[in-house]
Structure 1
Amino acid sequence: MLLENHFPEDVRVRQEAYKLVEYGYQVTVLAQLSEKGQARKELVNGVTVYRIPLLEIFAKSAPANSLPGKIYRKLLSTIGYLAEYAYFTSACFVYSCYILFKEGFDAIHLHNPPNTPFVVGAFFRLLGKKFVFDHHDLAPELYLSRVGRREGGLVYRALMLEEKLCLRSANLVISTNESYQQIAIQRGGKYPENVFVVRNGPDLSRAMFQPVPPDPQLQAMGKKILVYLGVMGPQDGVDYLVRALKELRDTLGRNDFYCLIIGKGESVAGLKQLAAELGLNDSLRFTGFVPTADLVRYLSSADICLDPNPSSPLNDVSTWVKVLEYMAFAKPVVSFDLKETRTSAGKAALYVEPNNELAYAKAIAALMDDPARREAMGRFGRERLEKQLSWAHVSRNLIIAYDRLFGHPERITTPGAGPHL
């Protein structure tokens, strides 16, 4: 497996690797060396992990206020990403050659982003190896979402070409939902039987998905606790959330709430500045990254969980792990009405017109005043995971895909959650 992220910290890749080991496959992961002093090579739960030293060229989140400064930062950021992707792709090739001669392997499994290491998979496919592409993100739509456009240009067309080459060079494609599956078929020209949906399902057997008593300090506030959990980049909509909280306070006259915004990302500095400008510092807190025990306690304390992803070319077709994690804690969710969010959450979420901050605030207020509805929505979400969308269910398709890829007798006859949720 090729992963430009940390292992075993990356949840989806960790769960897939462990599941394949459980079913008798030998798995090696090439991942990034984190800043925590991880070993360059180690065995993790039966998975052999090689870690590639991290290369970061230019800070991607340094703020700039002037137009020339923004252009300069954008240029440096672009150069940095291109250099880092080229380095990671080259390193994957070198490490893969080493592993082939030292240990041998039968398949390359690429987790994007980035897409560039597809050249490694394509090369080894020429040598008779299988190539599996795990389609986590849509690079063309991500680009449009980050630059605030609905239509393409030169960069967009280049990303579309890269994606098409990536999809077509793979023996098998794994998609995170049906929207991505259709993109693989329509844009990538894949046969439907070679595209499998493996959703991002929480592993409910893990201790982190077992609720604990609420945080005493939060409880002592006597307010409704709102929680956002996730990455904070330009496309993630946390700015919509902050402005919606202003509407909740100023337009709807509510002061009986406190919001925890948990996570990190390149937009955090700008979001903190926005919250300060709107006078919200007494109503919310940016926690940054928190240990698992604190995360579980905060989610257990939540009255309402928030998914502010706005409508955009990427968000309209993507599934958000945080929504499923909210459901694991039996929490009601407020979300903009996006196709894949509705597919995942169903009646566990209250949906409002996309990108309408006042409507979002009104939905929060409505749930704040209706504890019975909150409880019913949360119960529905937890049961939906237990019956259909937990990792125990959705991971079946991963094993079906691999068994078919290698011509093994199928050991699982009931597929995981598919188009008919």
Structure 2
Amino acid sequence: MLGNAISGEGPGRRALILVENLSVPFDRRVWQECTTLRDAGWTVDVICPQGTKRDTEPEAVIDGVRIHRYPLRAATGGPAGYLKEYGSALWHTARLARKVGPVDVVHACNPPDLLFLPALWLKRRGARFVFDQHDLVPELYLSRFDRGKDLLYRGVCALERRTYRAADIVLATNESYRDVAMRRGGKRPEDVFVVRSAPQIERFQPVPSEPELKRGKPHLLCYLGVMGPQDGVDYALRALAKLRDELGRTDWHAVFVGSGDAFDAMVELSKKLGLAEQVQFTGRIPDADLVRYLSTADVCLSPDPRNPLNDVSTMNKVLEYMAMGRPIVSFELKEARVSAGDAAVYAPANDEARFAELVAELMDDPDRRARMGKIGQERISGPLSWENSQASLLAAYAAACRDHTPVSAVEPVRTGKRQRS
């Protein structure tokens, strides 16, 4: 099976993956990790929250992976709301971990940096702890809440330190995160593995362009992704207003695909800027519709502003645009340039006027757009492919299990109601 030659550690071993931020298999990175481990011979269980419209079953076996889900209400009302959310998540995670039983590896995905608590309980019962650092939570706090380095910031830093200290192995999404794990977390280089997120190629297969999606305009601009306070949708909207008002360009229609905490505020902002007739918000849509929009788009937008988190984070939307062969306009961010290279053009950090100018330049240059799209697809199928990440993931698990005796009793995956993502 896949990876046995690399890891030598899969058959007869059990992994338990803990997730609080998203349901599974909706969390694409986690699902890719699950299936990679399964194909390498691991028995894989996942504990995660239930989704709102999908992934709603309390328990499911999907393609050989058993998923245990718990009810969770997203935080509202500031810090007290987050304490309530995280407290509930920890209680359910501990309850379900006891149900799963002994495992060789507990694999905790942040945020939040609290899952080291159930991981420590499992470590005391013989498991090794792999920390999958999806986000730098201290930087996330600074970027999202604009409260500075206050008491809560110091608290999240302390939780991150505790998580690093507890972890046997750290998975970093890019080299910037790996540097943080070594510099701030004190981890040895040999204990930190870069496992980059990568789009599922089979999910992002271009289809013929549909001109009607452009709403009668020559060009379609597209944004795909989460709409939270730090994701820059407001920067994109203000740049589009400048594209219309300062550059005199009305030959475009824009579609914003996705949802998040700031969705309603962004719809309202588009109205205040007078963009309601040219900007369409779809919310979350089926994959087939997403592919239709991306296949028709002339330019894709990655407006994440420079802040402590975004500058060192890999944006999934950038990788997905590249998989679809779309040219990208981004702000100048360290990891955006590492990912996209010449598949994107870069405005100075947070410069909305220059962002608008670059959109206009790409609209007027179809040959350049085609070259950039080809570069992106080649990068996704080459150095940024999931196959490379698979090798790193399996090497990390082999390191975690070195000199570690497998759990004595491995129950086969039980039959249950089956569904597919």
The alignment's TM-score, normalised by the length of structure 2, stands at 0.89
Equivalent pair of 1:229/1:262 in contact (CA under 8 Å):
yes
Tell me whether 1:170 sits opposite 2:188 in the alignment. Answer: no
**2:42 is the counterpart of 1:42:** no
Q: Secondary structure at the match of 1:388?
A: coil
Query: What is aligned with 1:10?
Result: 27
The question of whether the paired residues in 2 share the 8 Å contact of 1:199 and 1:395 is answered with no
Does structure 2 conserve the Cα–Cα contact (< 8 Å) formed by 1:40 and 1:51? yes
CA contact (8 A) 1:388 1:394 kept: no
What CA deviation, in whole Å up to 9, does each residue of 1:179-216 have, x standing for no partner?
A: 11111111111111000000011122x1x211011224
Q: What is residue 27 of structure 1 aligned with on the other side?
A: 44
Asked whether 1:218 is paired with 2:216, we answer: no
Q: Is the 8 A contact 2:220 2:252 kept in 1?
A: yes
| Counterpart check, 1:89 vs 2:90 | yes
SS at match of 1:210: coil
> In the alignment, residue 158 of structure 2 is paired with which amino acid?
L
Q: Which runs of 4+ in 1 moved over 3 A?
A: none
- Separation in structure 2 between the aligned mates of residue 92 and residue 219 of structure 1, nearest angstrom: 45
The 1:322–1:86 alpha-carbon spacing in structure 2 relative to 1, beyond 3 Å, is same
Partner of 1:314: 309
Tell me the distance in 2 between the aligned counterparts of 1:272 and 1:52: 31
Deviation of 1:36 after TM superposition, in Å, equals 3.5
Q: 1:56: how far off?
A: 4.1
The offset of 1:236, in angstroms, is 0.4
Structure 1 SS opposite 2:135:
coil
The 3-state SS of whatever aligns with 1:258 is: strand
- Contact kept in structure 1, 2:256 and 2:281, CA below 8 Å: yes
Change (3 A) 1:377 1:56: closer
* Paired position in structure 2 for 1:68: none
Conservation of the 8 A alpha-carbon contact between 2:214 and 2:253? no
Q: Residue 299 of structure 1: CA displacement?
A: 0.5
Deviations 1:8-29 (Å, cap 9, x if unpaired)?
1110000000000011111100
Tell me, yes or no, if structure 1 residue 52 matches structure 2 residue 65: no
* Counterpart position of 1:262: 257
Q: Is the 8 A contact 2:113 2:156 kept in 1?
A: no
TM-score calculated relative to the size of structure 1: 0.89
- Pick closer, same or farther for the CA change 1:250–1:333 going to 2, 3 Å: same
| Higher mean C-alpha deviation, range 27-36 or range 249-258 | 27-36
Aligned pair partner of 1:366 in 346, 349, 361: 361
More contact order relative to length (CA 8 Å, sep ≥ 6): 2
Decide whether aligned partners of structure 1 residues 172 and 348 sit closer, same or farther in structure 2, where only a CA change above 3 A counts: same
Kept after mapping to 1: 8 A contact 2:236/2:303: yes
Answer yes or no: is the 8 Å Cα contact 1:132–1:170 preserved in 2: yes
- In the TM superposition, residue 401 of structure 1 has moved relative to its aligned partner by 0.9
How far residue 219 of structure 1 moved from its aligned partner, in angstroms, is: 4.8
Q: Which residue of 1 aligns with 2:130?
A: 132
Describe the shift of the 1:218–1:26 C-alpha distance in structure 2 as closer, same or farther (beyond 3 A).
same
What is the CA–CA distance in structure 1 between the aligned matches of 2:65 and 2:300, rounded to whole Å?
34
What is aligned with 1:274?
Answer: 269
Report the alpha carbon displacement of residue 164 of structure 1 after superposing the two structures with TM. 0.7
Report the equivalent of 1:418.
none
Contact 2:174–2:195, Cα closer than 8 Å, also in 1 = yes
Q: Is the 8 A contact 2:217 2:253 kept in 1?
A: no
- CA shift for structure 1 position 244: 0.1
What is the 5 A alignment of 1:143-292?
Answer: 143-148=141-146, 151-204=148-201, 206=202, 208-219=203-214, 221-292=216-287
**Quick one: percent identity of the two aligned structures?**
45
Mapped partners of 1:320, 1:302: distance in 2: 19
Give the Cα separation in 2 of the matches to 1:352 and 1:89. Answer: 42
Please provide the CA RMSD for this pair: 1.5
Aligned residue identity for 1:305: C
Aligned to 1:119: 117
Cα distance in 1 for residues equivalent to 2:57 and 2:237: 40
CA 1:408/1:215 → structure 2, altered by over 3 Å: closer, same or farther?
farther
For residue 63 of structure 1, what is the aligned residue in structure 2? Answer: none
Q: How far apart, CA to CA, are the structure 2 residues paired with 1:265 and 1:219? A: 24
Which secondary structure does the structure 1 equivalent of 2:300 belong to? strand
Label 1:220 to 1:241 Cα distance change in 2 as closer, same or farther (>3 A): closer
Partner amino acid, structure 1, of 2:73: L
Q: Which amino acid aligns with 1:394?
A: S
On the 8 A contact 2:49/2:69 being kept in 1, the answer is yes
Equivalenced residues, count: 386
Deviates more, 1:321-330 or 1:1-10: 1-10
Task: Report the residue type matching 1:155 in the other structure.
Answer: L
- The amino acid of 2:69's aligned partner reads R
1:80 Cα deviation after fit = 1.2
- Contact 2:130–2:400 (8 Å) recurs in 1: no
Deviations 1:287-331 (A, max 9, x none): 111111100100001000000000001101100000000000000
Counterpart CA distance in 1 for 2:155 and 2:129 is 22
The answer for the alignment partner of 1:72 in structure 2 is: none
Instruction: State the secondary structure of the residue aligned to 2:307.
Output: coil
Aligned equivalents of 1:264, 1:168: Cα separation in 2? 35
Secondary structure of 1:389's aligned partner:
coil
Question: CA shift at 1:126, angstroms?
Answer: 2.3
Give distance in 2, aligned partners of 1:35 and 1:341.
Answer: 31
Q: After superposition, give the CA deviation of every residue in 1:364-383 in whole Å (9 maximum; x if it has no partner).
A: 01101111110000000001
1:392 and 2:387 are equivalent in the alignment = yes
Unaligned runs of at least 5 residues, structure 1? 61-75, 410-421
